[in-house]
């Protein structure tokens, strides 16, 4: 090959190499940008769900605390029979406060959760809702029996659908269920929700949980 042809070929190869580098660099930059956008979207979704799950957990922690304080005066009726009416009145007042909180704050965050969650978290939240409603309904029925009249439940129509069936399946007496057992199971459902939410969010991003 003479020097002139070699020079021409060398120049051509160099030009081809330079020409190929431009599209490749553009493709790489486009791919990188796409991954960055996807990562940012995942981060935003993760933070949105984290905030929703936290709000749900905080609202239900408060609700469970309010229901639990209702059980305190009920547990003192037999120990202090002379103050029976006072303990019943306190239980009624605390239960009514818990009901109003449920009708406002709790139901509001449940609606938000339904719009921004995964299936495992939704199922765990439903278990929380069921267990808390069971505790509330059983507490109400206990207070009604003590007062000899029905309590005002506002827009929430008692009893919880399937109330008797669920208690029976749990091995509890539907007429006089153990409130302490219902309280423990409500707390267990709450802790299970926290575990499920944490696992779904993952340490570094959202897990593929549906």
| CATH number for the domain that contains residue 86 | 1.20.120
pLDDT of residue 25: 66
- pLDDT surpassing 90 at residue 4: no
Structural domain boundaries, residue 107: 48-201
Q: Per the domain annotation, does 172 fall within a domain?
A: yes
- Residue 8 pLDDT: 42
Query: Is the separation of the CB atoms in 192 and 124 below 8 Å?
Result: yes
Rounded Cα distance between 101 and 106, Å, is 7
* Residue 193: inside a domain: yes
In the predicted model, is pLDDT for residue 60 greater than 50? yes
Asked if residue 131 is part of any domain, the answer here is: yes
pLDDT of residue 17: 53
Q: What is the pLDDT of residue 41?
A: 59
Peptide bond into 28 cis (omega under 30): no
In sequence order, what E strands does the chain have?
Answer: none
pTM more than 0.85: no
pLDDT of 132 over the 90 cut:
yes
Q: Tens digit of pLDDT for each residue in 94-120?
A: 999 999 999 989 989 998 898 878 899
Name the domain count of the chain. Answer: 1
Position 54 confidence tier, pLDDT thresholds 50, 70, 90: very high
Q: How far is CA 163 from CA 45, 48, 63, 121, 152, in A?
A: 36, 34, 20, 23, 18
Cα 19 to chain centroid, rounded: 55
Q: List pLDDT tens digits, range 39-49.
A: 675 677 788 88
Question: What is the residue-averaged pLDDT of the chain?
Answer: 82
210 falls within a domain: no
pLDDT in tens, 133-159: 999 999 999 999 999 998 887 766 555
pLDDT value of residue 5: 45
pLDDT at 174 exceeding the cut of 70: yes
82 domain residue, yes or no: yes
Residue 116 is assigned to a structural domain of this protein: yes
Q: Has residue 15 been placed in a domain?
A: no
24 domain-assigned: no
Residue 20 confidence (pLDDT): 55
pLDDT at 3 over 60: no
Res 53 pLDDT > 80: yes
Please tell me the predicted confidence (pLDDT) of residue 136.
93
Alpha helix segments (H runs only) across 77-178:
84-101, 107-115, 119-147, 163-169
């Amino acid at each position: 090959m003479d020097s002139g042809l070699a020079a021409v070929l060398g120049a051509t190869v160099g030009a081809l190499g330079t020409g190929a580098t431009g599209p490749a660099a553009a493709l790489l930059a486009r791919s990188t940008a796409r991954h960055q956008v996807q990562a940012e979207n995942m981060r935003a979704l993760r933070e949105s769900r984290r905030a929703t799950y936290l709000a749900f957990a905080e609202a239900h922690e408060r609700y469970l605390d309010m229901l639990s304080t209702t059980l305190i005066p009920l547990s003192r009726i037999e120990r202090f029979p002379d103050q029976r009416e006072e303990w019943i009145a306190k239980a009624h007042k605390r239960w009514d406060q818990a009901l109003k909180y449920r009708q406002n704050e709790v139901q509001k965050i449940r609606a938000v959760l339904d719009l921004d969650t995964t299936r495992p978290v939704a199922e765990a939240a439903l278990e929380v809702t069921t267990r808390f409603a069971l505790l509330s309904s059983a507490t109400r029925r206990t207070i009604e029996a003590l007062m000899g009249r029905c309590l005002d439940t506002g827009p929430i129509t008692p009893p919880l659908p399937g109330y008797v069936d669920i208690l029976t399946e749990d091995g509890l007496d539907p007429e006089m269920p153990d409130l302490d057992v219902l309280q423990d199971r409500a707390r267990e459902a709450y802790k299970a929700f926290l575990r499920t939410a944490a696992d779904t969010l993952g340490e570094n991003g959202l897990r593929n949980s549906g």
